[in-house]
C-alpha cells in the first residue's frame, strides 16, 4: 500500500458534556497524535480538549446577537467559520459530529468554496440526531438532505444505522464505526477518591454518568437503587453532565440522601470511575452508551436496559447484565446479584475490560475512521477527474 499522506481535518461537534463531543474530541486527539492536522470548530472549546498539543487547534465561532432575530442563529456563523478554516488551512475533510446543525453547516461551507478547494464532508450520526430529531417534521427533511448530500456517513452502532435507514429513509451506504475509549491514567489513587467521596473500601460503589436528560430515566435509576438497599446496601456515585438539583427531592423522598453522591461536570472521569465497582444505566434509548464503555475500561460490569445499541457494547451475562426496558424488578435483581457477589463482579469486570480494550480500542476505531477518510477522498477525486 502506498504511504498515506497526513490529512488536514476540521471537526465540528458539541463542546459540552455529552458522548458525541467527547468522542469527537478523543478522535481529534488520536488523529493529531498520528501526525494529522486537526482543527476543532465550535462555539466553545470542547471541555475535554487538551491545550498545547502539537497539530491540535481550536477556532471559536463568534455569534452576534441581532434584535431582529427572536432566536439566535448558530448554523450560518458556523458554516462561515468552517468555510474560512477550510480555505485558510486547506482542509481535506470536515467531519461533522451530530447531524444538527453541524452536517448542514458543513455542506454550506463546502458550497461556499470553489469545487477544487472544497473539503469533503463526513457526518457521524450519534443518536438523537436520528432517533429524536429525525422524527421531527421540522428537522427530518433537512437531516435527510444533509445526509444525502454528504460525501460519507458513519453511525456509531448497527442499531443506529438501521434506525437512520428506517426513520430518515437514507438509501446510501452508512459505515458503522463503533465508539472507542482510551482511558487516561488516573491522577489520584482509588483510596484517595473513595476518601473524598466518603465511601469505605468494603462498601460497593455503583456509578452512573449521563447528561440526565429524560430518556436517561433517572427516576427509574433512583427507584431501583432504593429497592436494592434493603437486600444489598451500597452507594451510588452520579457523574452528572447537568444540574442535578431537579432530582434532589426524589433522592430525599426515597431516603437516599446518605447513599447518593453527586459530582457535576467532571472532566477527570477516570479518577472517579476507577473508584467504583459497578455501572448502572436505565436509558429508554441509547445508540451506543459511551459511559458503559468507560465503565468497562475500568473493570466495572454494567447493569443496563437492553435498548438500542447497548447490546452491541455490553454482552448480557458476559460483561454485564441487560434487563428489558420497563422491568424495574429485573434491574433490582441484577443489581442485588452483582452487589452481593464479588466473584461474579470480578469475572464480568475482567471480561468487560478485555472487550473494551480489544474491540473498542482507539487502535481499531481510529484506523477505521482513517480508512474511511482516505476512501471518501479517493472517491471524490475520481469524480473530479
- In the shown chain, the binding pattern of residues 265 to 284 toward ligand GMT, with x for contact by CB under 6 A and - for none, equals --------------------
Closest CB 211 distance from ligand GMT, rounded Å: 6
The three grid cell numbers given for residue 324, joined into one nine-digit string: 428489558
Q: The dihedral of CA 29, 30, 34, 37: what is its sign?
A: negative
Residue of 85, 164, 179, 274 that binds ligand GMT (CB under 6 A) = 179
Nearest Cα to Cα of residue 190 among 117, 109, 260, 276: 276
Closest CB 96 distance from ligand GMT, rounded Å: 13
Residue 20 in the binding site for ligand GMT (CB under 6 A): yes
Q: Kindly tell me which of 144 and 217 has the beta carbon lying closer to ligand GMT.
A: 217
**Positions of E strands within the chain:** 8-12, 37-42, 56-60, 93-97, 120-125, 152-155, 175-176, 205-210, 235-240, 260-264, 278-281, 302-305, 320-323
Residue of 289, 307, 365, 366 that binds ligand GMT (CB under 6 A) = 289
Query: Maximum distance among all alpha carbons in the chain?
Result: 70
Q: Kindly tell me which of 86 and 319 has the beta carbon lying closer to ligand GMT.
A: 319
Residue of 18, 279, 330, 349 that binds ligand GMT (CB under 6 A) = 18
Residue of 15, 127, 279, 320 that binds ligand GMT (CB under 6 A) = 127
262-265 — which CB contacts under 8 Å span 24+ positions?
262/237, 262/238, 263/237, 263/238, 263/239, 264/240, 265/17, 265/47, 265/240, 265/241
Residue of 222, 290, 297, 362 that binds ligand GMT (CB under 6 A) = 290
Residue of 10, 11, 12, 19 that binds ligand GMT (CB under 6 A) = 19
Residue 288 in the binding site for ligand GMT (CB under 6 A): yes
DSSP helix/strand/coil, 114 = coil
Which residue's CB comes closest to ligand GMT? Answer: 127
Q: Kindly tell me which of 270 and 294 has the beta carbon lying closer to ligand GMT.
A: 294
Residue 313 in the binding site for ligand GMT (CB under 6 A): no
Q: Kindly tell me which of 290 and 331 has the beta carbon lying closer to ligand GMT.
A: 290
Q: Which residues pair with 205 in a beta bridge?
A: 235
Q: What is the DSSP letter of 316?
A: B
* Region binding ligand GMT by CB under 6 A among candidate stretches 42-50, 72-80, 285-293, 352-360: 285-293
How far is residue 271's CA from residue 257's CA, in Å, rounded to a whole number?
Answer: 23
Q: Kindly tell me which of 274 and 314 has the beta carbon lying closer to ligand GMT.
A: 314
Site size toward ligand GMT (CB under 6 A) is: 18
How far is residue 111's CA from residue 120's CA, in Å, rounded to a whole number?
Answer: 11
Residue 156 in the binding site for ligand GMT (CB under 6 A): yes
How far is residue 217's CA from residue 290's CA, in Å, rounded to a whole number?
Answer: 16
* Omega of the bond leading into 101 within 30 degrees of 0 (cis): yes
One DSSP character per residue, 172-227 reads S--EE------PPPPSS-HHHHHHHHT--TTS-EEEEEE---GGG-HHHHHHHHHH
What is the helix, strand, coil percentage profile of the chain, to 5? 45, 15, 40
Residue 126 in the binding site for ligand GMT (CB under 6 A): yes
Q: Rounded to whole angstroms, what are the CA distances from 359 to 10, 159, 179, 332, 354?
A: 27, 17, 10, 29, 8
* Region binding ligand GMT by CB under 6 A among candidate stretches 107-115, 125-133, 357-365, 371-379: 125-133
Residue of 276, 287, 305, 353 that binds ligand GMT (CB under 6 A) = 287
Applying the rule CB under 6 A, the residues between 27 and 86 that interact with ligand GMT are: none
Q: Which residues pair with 355 in a beta bridge?
A: none
Closest CB 242 distance from ligand GMT, rounded Å: 11
Q: Kindly tell me which of 194 and 241 has the beta carbon lying closer to ligand GMT.
A: 241
Q: Kindly tell me which of 175 and 203 has the beta carbon lying closer to ligand GMT.
A: 175
* Residues of this chain that bind ligand GMT (CB under 6 A): 14, 18-21, 23, 126-128, 156, 179, 215, 285-290
Amino acid at each position: 500500500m502506498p504511504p498515506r499522506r497526513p490529512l488536514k481535518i476540521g471537526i465540528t461537534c458539541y463542546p459540552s458534556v455529552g458522548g458525541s463531543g467527547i468522542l469527537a474530541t478523543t478522535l481529534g486527539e488520536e488523529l493529531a497524535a498520528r501526525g494529522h492536522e486537526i482543527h476543532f470548530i465550535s462555539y466553545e472549546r470542547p471541555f475535554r480538549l487538551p491545550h498545547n498539543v502539537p497539530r491540535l487547534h481550536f477556532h471559536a465561532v463568534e455569534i452576534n446577537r441581532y434584535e431582529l432575530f427572536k432566536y439566535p442563529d448558530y448554523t450560518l456563523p458556523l458554516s462561515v467559520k468552517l468555510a474560512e478554516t477550510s480555505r485558510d488551512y486547506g482542509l481535506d475533510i470536515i467531519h461533522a459530529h451530530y447531524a444538527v446543525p453541524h452536517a448542514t453547516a458543513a455542506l454550506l461551507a463546502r458550497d461556499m468554496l470553489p469545487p477544487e478547494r472544497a473539503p469533503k464532508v463526513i457526518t457521524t450520526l450519534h443518536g438523537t440526531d436520528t432517533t429524536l430529531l429525525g422524527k421531527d417534521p421540522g428537522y427530518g427533511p433537512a437531516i435527510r438532505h444533509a445526509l444525502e448530500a454528504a460525501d460519507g456517513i458513519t453511525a456509531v452502532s448497527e442499531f443506529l444505522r438501521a434506525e437512520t435507514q428506517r426513520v430518515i429513509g437514507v438509501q446510501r451506504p452508512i459505515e458503522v464505526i463503533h465508539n472507542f475509549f482510551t482511558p487516561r491514567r488516573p491522577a489520584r489513587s482509588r483510596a484517595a477518591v473513595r476518601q473524598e467521596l466518603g465511601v469505605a473500601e468494603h462498601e460497593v460503589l455503583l456509578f452512573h454518568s449521563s447528561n440526565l436528560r429524560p430518556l436517561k430515566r433517572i427516576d427509574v435509576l433512583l427507584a431501583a437503587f432504593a429497592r436494592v438497599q434493603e437486600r444489598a446496601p451500597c452507594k451510588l456515585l452520579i457523574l452528572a453532565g447537568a444540574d442535578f438539583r431537579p432530582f434532589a427531592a426524589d433522592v430525599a423522598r426515597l431516603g437516599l440522601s446518605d447513599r447518593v453522591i453527586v459530582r457535576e461536570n467532571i472532566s477527570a472521569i477516570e479518577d472517579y470511575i476507577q473508584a467504583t465497582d459497578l455501572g448502572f444505566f436505565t436509558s429508554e434509548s441509547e445508540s451506543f452508551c459511551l459511559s458503559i464503555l468507560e465503565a468497562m475500561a475500568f473493570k466495572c460490569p454494567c447493569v443496563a436496559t437492553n435498548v438500542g445499541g447497548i447490546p452491541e457494547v455490553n454482552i448480557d451475562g458476559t460483561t454485564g447484565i441487560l434487563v428489558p426496558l420497563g422491568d424495574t424488578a429485573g434491574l433490582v435483581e441484577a443489581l442485588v446479584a452483582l452487589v452481593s457477589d464479588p466473584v461474579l463482579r470480578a469475572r464480568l469486570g475482567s471480561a468487560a475490560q478485555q472487550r473494551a480494550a480489544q474491540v473498542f480500542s482507539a487502535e481499531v476505531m481510529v484506523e477505521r475512521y482513517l480508512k474511511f477518510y482516505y476512501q471518501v477522498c479517493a472517491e471524490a477525486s475520481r469524480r473530479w477527474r
